[in-house]
Amino acid sequence: MNDIQETVRVGLAVRSKNINFRINSSYKINDSSGSVVSNLLPGEYKANVIEEGSRPLWSSRVISFKTSAMAQKFIGVFRKFGFNPELRQMGSEVEWLGRKLDARTWAVTLGGGYDPETNNAGVVAEITPLMTKLGFIKYPDQLFKVNSIRSAPPEGGVLEIVNDNGEAWKISSTVRLIPENPEDCFELPEVRLGIDFHWDHVESLSFKGILEITVDGDCLTVINEVTLADYLASLLGSEMRQDWHINALAAQAVAARSTVLATRGRHHFGEAFDLCHDDHCQCYQGVTRESEVSRNALDLTRNAILEYDGHVADTRYSKSCGGLSEDYNTAWDDWNIPYLKTIQCVYSDSKDEKVSLNIDWSENDSFERALVDQPIKAACNPALYPYPQSSKEMEKLFRWKMVIPGAELAELIELRTGRSLGYINSLEILERGKSGRIRYLRVIGENGSVTVGKELQIRRLLSHSHFPSSAFTIERQDDGVFMFEGLGWGHGVGMCQLGSAALAAKGWKWEKLLSHYYPGTELIKK
């Protein structure tokens, strides 16, 4: 059986002033009409804009819904109060192995402008009273945020490609560079990875498939159009490590394949690509991350995806849940996804251990007791199951501590919220999810207070990059220093990657891993 012929469009660099790349074989240049302009020989090249395209136009996503009917009802309420919202379909329907599956959500948007930050600030000020009245803003001092959505993909413009000998080609956007041999690769010398996280860095990476460069306003966006199989082969070595058990990689392959189909066109609506290459979507770091074990895992799970109630399963995952996975709505939209709920990251010498679904760390005292009880019985706990040799540096992020002086914390709060609270008196945990991850956190300063949610916003609030997770306790010392002690790495929703690695090494098959971390889903394969 062959792979379904599916391609993925991955954004490798978004709105950059110029692009450097290298090819080691012959590539055809196709212009915006699809005509072959020329052939490029091996060498180094640079692309830049010589005629700008249309400027990006943004609107503000106020809220999203699972169905268009729910979104339309919300729009009706908004219109009664004088607003003019728009409904945008995010994602599409999917044909897969003879089934028609849904992968759509529905966004309600407002406003439209060239500067997303200014646009968002105006929308927030305008709708805050109504969102409070409707119950979407829960706390009087809550910082309410909206996200930018691009109204339409890039259009127009002319770019220039120059080689290291000074030869130049001026081409109407969009430009597609197609290798004569599908196995050939192009190289980008400066790909940013781990954007805004503590491992943020730049690498030189090589990619299979088509290199596409499009004029995006006065900048360039680089896209890699690649087969889904080649994308996944790289992803398995980017998200996991080559010495992890093949059943862990196989489970990851199914989760990643499902995630592509479930989320493309949603996370980067209106852009020229489906997904980005980084942690925001899924990590995709080129051909050097491929391995024989990755390809074997793909062969084992060829074309397999997860389905739930007629929808492609949105199979989120994180590095380490810390003992319990988290409910979807603690981290993202205010709706329930039955298969993305709190699950014990079970650890036992017995393959048939019964999993408890009744553990709940949502109360502060229960989470604090979990920190005291040692060792926490979890497959992702390195005290019970040492991580593979390649992943030893991850052990410190199962259980971690942070210390922030009061003055530094005050600066961070102002940087992240735009509000000067002055001296920080306390941090108050208002709500936790069942895994202990904080859902709403109140910061109380000498000049007022602000409440922040959800999971990712809290992790950003307290760091110049991100806290490992929002599952932590807070202790303020007499000298104003704040101490944080926490569990896990990432949002904790869905499959725990390090937990799945441990369970696979203990004999769990990939099908069992998927049914454990995504309960109630159906495995579709042929």
Residues 130-169 pLDDT 10s: 999 999 999 999 999 999 999 889 999 999 999 999 999 9
pLDDT at 349: 53
Secondary structure (3-state) at 283:
coil
Secondary structure (3-state) at 505:
helix
191 & 132 share domain: no
Q: What are phi and psi of 171, to 5 degrees?
A: -135, 140
96 & 165 share domain: no
Amino acid letter, 30: N
Secondary structure (3-state) at 60:
strand
Task: Name the pTM for this structure.
Answer: 0.94
Sign of CA dihedral 24, 277, 309, 492: positive
**Residue 498 domain flag:** no
Beta bridge partners of 88: 107
pLDDT at 442: 98
118 & 177 share domain: no
> 523: Cβ–Cβ under 8 A, 6 or more apart, which residues?
254, 304, 305, 306, 307, 511, 514, 515
- Pick the closest to residue 327 from 435, 461, 477, 246 (CA basis): 435
Domain end marker among 150, 178, 207: 150
**Residue 287 domain flag:** no
95 & 142 share domain: yes
33 & 83 share domain: no
171 & 96 share domain: no
pLDDT at 192: 86
CB 264 within 8 A of CB 276: no
87 & 211 share domain: no
100 & 167 share domain: no
24 & 170 share domain: yes
142 & 178 share domain: no
pLDDT at 357: 55
**Residue 251 domain flag:** no
Compute the CA torsion angle 454, 283, 150, 105 (nearest 10 deg).
-60
CA 143 to chain centre: 22
64 & 139 share domain: yes
**Residue 346 domain flag:** no
Q: How many CB atoms lie within 10 A of CB 42?
A: 12
pLDDT at 348: 63
Peptide bond into 153 cis (omega under 30): no
Domain end marker among 150, 185, 204: 150
The pair of three-digit structure tokens given for residue 68, joined into one six-digit string: 């268009």
- What is the chain's Cα-based Rg? 24
Q: Which residue numbers in the chain have pLDDT < 70?
A: 1, 198, 347-358
CB 316 within 8 A of CB 339: no
**Residue 112 domain flag:** yes
Q: Where are the alpha helices (DSSP H) in 39-115?
A: 68-80
Report the CATH number at residue 78.
3.30.70
112 & 136 share domain: yes
The pair of three-digit structure tokens given for residue 470, joined into one six-digit string: 């929002």
Q: How many CB atoms lie within 10 A of CB 473?
A: 17
Number of domains in the chain: 3
Which helix (H) or strand (E) covers residue 11, if one does?
Answer: strand 7-16
User: Per-residue b/e over 10-24, b at no fewer than 16 CB within 10 Å?
Assistant: bbbbbebeebebbbe
Q: Where are the alpha helices (DSSP H) in 243-291?
A: 246-263
Domain that holds residue 18: 13-45+161-215
